[in-house]
Amino acid sequence: MGNTAETELIMIPGPVQVAPQVLRALSKPMINHRGPEFKKILDESREKLRSLFNTESDVIILSGSGTCAMEAAVGNLGGHKKFVAIENGKFGERLKLLTSLYGSSAPIIAEWGTSINTDKVKQALQEGADAVTIVHNETSTGMTNDVEQIGALCRKYEALLIMDGVSSIGGIEAPIDKWGVDIAFTGSQKCLGLPPGLSMIAVNERAWDIIKTAQKRPFYADLIAHMKSADKGQTPYTPTIPLFFALEEALKMLEAEGLSERINRYRTYATSIRAAIEAMGLELFPQPSASSTYSNTVTAIKMPSGIDFVSLKNEMRRRGIIIAGGQERLKGHIFRISNMGSISEGDILQVIEKLELVLLEKGVVSEMGKGTLAADCVLEGL
């Protein structure tokens, strides 16, 4: 008999486990979104988010998922821009599609899960590109790209750098000002541990100079309109008020834990998961190099022979654990375990124990020695 949804442990790369106090905040009574109570929440949240982004830039909160901020980042630059869209995963591909919608796109594509050739980026910039888009942390492949290296190239050739930090900001070190990122964005349902529905975007002065001269911008995600309203403690359109209550609580929790401490906690979880996966004889999917590393917020694993993903997913869910599969071309070839959100060391241990149990029962892995070898690796790492 499987667990109910209330007791299942969700270990997918978003949405993530949400802390009880954040869930309680969602049930607060409605307030006037043009009144002083909402202004206080908005002003304080925006200021705290600047620390989260490691930036002196303006931060705007949008009622919409991470893709809303992604479109805002590209669309507000106006048409006729020449973008270099870096793609080595699903969300790099999404940025590529958006850049072709709002301008001309010169994609630089690597096999999903492999590193980008920075020489190709340099060549595209030499040919006069206006902006580069990059995903810092690809949840689709479990790999983190080297944004700092791309930022240095963008500065050298005076191009804007747009960074998708949806699954990294708040969970992986991402000092966007230091790296030369002009526009960065994230979503509520990842490292912050909120339900889906909010996104946050940081915009520096270089980017504002271009946005202010753009002849056409999106309507709902017009950053000029959002900034004018934010300066008055409002949003241009009706915000998702309960999610702002939840954001307020989640930011308090982050402040209490400390950003560095949270990043270290996620890193410890991910390192322990990788050690356990390798102890089971399974193979990690991505192929990092000098310009990429394994992700510290989600682990992607190649599907072992002897079991398909649907069977693995169902067996794990029967034991109360929700895991993710591969997307599009990676469907059926990998599975993924996230370690973002309100989870504990015990949760990580539980996931690994049950994964090993399923694989042992299916004859995919062999038991070695006494006890659970993979679990021992987790305990050593935590």
Per residue in 42-63, pLDDT tens? 999 999 999 999 999 999 999 9
Could you tell me the pTM of the whole model? 0.94
Q: Are residues 233 and 130 in the same domain?
A: yes
**Is residue 271 one of the residues assigned to a domain?**
yes
pLDDT at residue 4 tops 80? no
Q: pLDDT, tens digit, for every residue of 310-348? A: 999 999 999 999 999 999 999 999 999 999 999 999 999
In this prediction, residue 215 carries a pLDDT of 85
Which pair of tokens denotes residue 371? 């006890």
In this prediction, residue 366 carries a pLDDT of 72
Task: Single out the residue in 215, 230, 255 at which a domain terminates.
Answer: 255
Q: Are residues 286 and 342 in the same domain?
A: yes
Any alpha helices (H) in the chain, and if so which ranges? 20-25, 36-53, 66-75, 90-102, 118-126, 147-156, 176-179, 205-211, 223-230, 241-257, 259-279, 309-318, 345-361, 373-381
pLDDT at residue 373 tops 90? no
**Is residue 2 one of the residues assigned to a domain?**
no
Per the model's pLDDT, the better-predicted residue between 39 and 216 turns out to be: 39
Cβ(334)–Cβ(325) below 8 Å: yes
Task: Single out the residue in 255, 279, 298 at which a domain terminates.
Answer: 255
**Is residue 357 one of the residues assigned to a domain?**
yes
pLDDT at residue 32 tops 80? yes
- 138 sits in which H/E element: strand 137-138
**Rounded mean pLDDT, 143-150:** 97
In this prediction, residue 371 carries a pLDDT of 45
Q: Are residues 320 and 366 in the same domain?
A: yes
Number of domains, the chain? 2
Q: Which domain holds residue 367?
A: 9-16+258-381
Query: Measured on CA atoms in the order 85, 87, 91, 94, is the torsion positive or negative?
Result: positive
pLDDT at residue 357 tops 90? yes
**Is residue 352 one of the residues assigned to a domain?**
yes
Q: pLDDT, tens digit, for every residue of 152-163? A: 999 999 999 999
Q: Are residues 248 and 265 in the same domain?
A: no
Q: pLDDT, tens digit, for every residue of 213-238? A: 998 999 999 999 999 999 999 999 99
